[in-house]
Amino acid sequence: MSMNFVVIGCGRVGSELAYRLYKNGHKVVVVDSNKDSFNRIHADFHGRTVEGEALSADTLKRADIENTAGVAVVTNSDAMNAVIGHTIRVHYPQVKQVLVRNYDPSMREMLEAFGLQIVSSTAWGAERLQELLIDASFRAVFSAGNGEVQLYEMSIPADWDGIAVSALLLDCVNTIVIAALTRAGRAELVTHQALLKTGDILTISATLEGVTALQARLQAGMEA
């Protein structure tokens, strides 16, 4: 289903986001105060561009903000993103999604104080790099928030054949949730009493603390 979106800020992220939305069949309006910024958008993009200050009611009106399903505020200023995002939420409550990009992790508390939905590429990237440096054996398949909680897929080694799922959760109860178990291509929900088999694929939701503890437990089991 085609939807209407507004992207405020036509830098590297804004131009890429606008093009991706457009390629997926959505109607996109890109707003930026510098008309030269629109040159960053892919040549195949046929959405609209609006030059003007995003805090201007006239600019937002020309962007048809009142009829958009979602707005992404991705200028290069955290403070400006916060103010623009807050303004849209207050004056255009019909907009269902207002997302703002965070560049500087030290500014996240300020953005959170506005109650805004934040995407922090810096925090997410650092979290993901840390995971890969520590151990790349668990494959992250989905990242929630800014990487604080992620979904991982892990393959059960031969050493853990016949072990109960509950054994994986020792000391990790508050940091890991078993989302699903896939066996012979069929996924299902499992109880803590279920027994694992070699080659099973577990999908787990975990913090970095939880997945690190689980990796240590698996390693200890394989060395025993």
- Looking at residue 223, its pLDDT comes to 47
Is the pLDDT at 56 greater than 50, yes or no?
yes
Stronger pLDDT, 166 or 24, i.e. the higher one: 24
Mean pLDDT, residues 64-71 taken together: 95
- Looking at residue 224, its pLDDT comes to 43
CB neighbours of 41 closer than 8 A, spacing ≥ 6? 10, 15, 18, 19, 30, 49
Degrees to nearest 5, angle at CA 127 with 125 and 130: 105
Structural domain boundaries in the chain: 4-124, 136-223
Is the domain spanning 4-124 CATH 3.30.70.1450? The answer is no
Lowest mean pLDDT among 44-58, 71-85, 200-214: 200-214
- Looking at residue 222, its pLDDT comes to 47
pTM: 0.67
The Cα 46–Cα 38 span in angstroms is: 12
pLDDT band for position 17 (cuts 50, 70, 90): very high
State percent of the chain over pLDDT 70.
95
What value does the mean pLDDT of the chain take? Answer: 88
Q: What is the pLDDT of residues 112-164, one digit of tens each?
A: 888 888 888 887 777 767 766 766 567 788 888 777 888 988 888 888 889 89
CB neighbours of 186 closer than 8 A, spacing ≥ 6? none
**Which residues are 204's β-sheet partners?**
152, 178
CATH topology of domain 136-223: Alpha-Beta Plaits (3.30.70)
Q: What is the pLDDT of residues 156-169, one digit of tens each?
A: 888 888 989 888 77
Q: Which two tokens stand for residue 49?
A: 């561009």
The Cα 94–Cα 2 span in angstroms is: 18
The Cα 96–Cα 89 span in angstroms is: 9
